[in-house]
Structure 1
Amino acid sequence: MTPDQQAAKRGKRKPGTPGALSRWMQRKANARTIRKVRGGRGTMMGMDLLILNTVGHRSGQPRETPVAWFADGDDARLIVASGGGNQNPDWHANLMAHPDQVTIELPGRAAEPVTAQRLNGAQREQAWSIIAAAQPRIAKYQSKSDREYPVIRLTPR
């Protein structure tokens, strides 16, 4: 096996490969979106955004990711770990590894601690109906995927 094949198998890519470019572009887009949310502009493509602050599940380093959220009652928020359809996004592993070390930032507001809970069964179905009604395109993405997208409820601590 060549070094390139070994790196790809481990999920690492050499700089200059399409995967590396894609990750670089995603980081740049996320940084721009985070600046917008912190500046008070919290919508994109008709969805409300928040900044999800987690702790890396392997590194232990702080991570921040802009994600779309959906209201669930008065104070809880729902987020979906779609990850482009084929796998859970990195933030999902961080969230599950350290659910008690999560904060969120809403547009123009300071970070607030939340408790993250992955929903299953009837709770997930009820939450999914809220999400699908608010954004039918997410339901369409789900219908094209072989896996069930995790739905997470964020509740203030």
Structure 2
Amino acid sequence: MNAPGSAPRPTGQPHDPARIPPRWFIRTAWVVHRGLYRVTGGRVGLRHPSPTVYGMMRLHTVGRRSGSPRVAIVGYFEDGPDLVTLAMNGWGDPPPAWWLNLKARPAASVNLPDGTRAVLAHEATGAERERLWAVWRTLEGDADLDAYAALRSRETPVVVLAPA
């Protein structure tokens, strides 16, 4: 089965179903990543993207119900002045809280390796989504992006963070 918005997989080619680590492993990796960032004062944990590898940034949102500041570290690539990420929750089915927060309050900020930037979020749709999804397919570690996306019951949102 192909994810909505993904290219069909050629027939007749063997394909192992996507396998994701157990939820406890994913949550532990997130805690360790945030801890490394905090312990090193931000020297470890963020990186610029390259043409073949996505970068890592800290995304600051405001809780949609609590009004409290929230932070998540997410992968991204640059599309001109915009930053592009995927609203996935370790490939789990529910949407990540940061995405629900951005839908309620699109104004946010990000920490990049070279500084902080104010952004406004929107979900890519149509041709924009297809083009950006195709870029994600080219990045290291996301070679089986469509198979992972097919594990979810809903389309994975492609989130564009435009300069505010």
* TM bucket normalised to smaller: 0.7 to 0.9
Q: What secondary structure, in the 3-state scheme, does the structure 1 residue paired with 2:90 have?
A: helix
Whole-Å separation in 2 of the counterparts to 1:139 and 1:37: 35
Question: Contact 1:37 / 1:50 at 8 angstroms: preserved in 2?
Answer: no
Whole-Å separation in 1 of the counterparts to 2:127 and 2:97: 26
Q: Which structure exhibits the higher relative contact order, with contacts defined as CA atoms closer than 8 Å and separated by 6 or more residues?
A: 2
- Give the match for residue 14 of structure 2: none
Structure 2 vs 1, CA of residues 94 and 30 (structure 1 numbering), >3 Å: closer, same or farther?
A: farther
Structure 1 residue 24: Cα displacement: 7.3
Aligned positions, number: 134
- Give the match for residue 82 of structure 2: 76
Output the amino acid matched with 1:77. Answer: L
Q: CA RMSD in A?
A: 2.7
Question: Contact 1:76 / 1:155 at 8 angstroms: preserved in 2?
Answer: yes
- Give the match for residue 42 of structure 1: 46
Structure 1 residue 139: Cα displacement: 3.1
- Give the match for residue 135 of structure 2: 130
Question: Contact 1:50 / 1:69 at 8 angstroms: preserved in 2?
Answer: yes
- Give the match for residue 104 of structure 1: 110
Whole-Å separation in 1 of the counterparts to 2:36 and 2:156: 23
Contiguous gaps of at least 5 residues in structure 2: 1-22, 48-52
Name the structure where helix makes up a greater proportion of residues: 1
Quote the sequence identity (%).
29
Contiguous gaps of at least 5 residues in structure 1: 1-18
Instruction: State the TM-score, normalized to the length of structure 2.
Output: 0.70
Question: Contact 2:88 / 2:96 at 8 angstroms: preserved in 1?
Answer: yes
Structure 2 vs 1, CA of residues 90 and 30 (structure 1 numbering), >3 Å: closer, same or farther?
A: farther
Structure 2 vs 1, CA of residues 153 and 93 (structure 1 numbering), >3 Å: closer, same or farther?
A: same
- Give the match for residue 19 of structure 2: none
Aligned with residue 53 of structure 1, among 41, 47, 60 = 60
Instruction: State the TM-score, normalized to the length of structure 1.
Output: 0.73
Aligned with residue 122 of structure 2, among 117, 122, 128 = 117
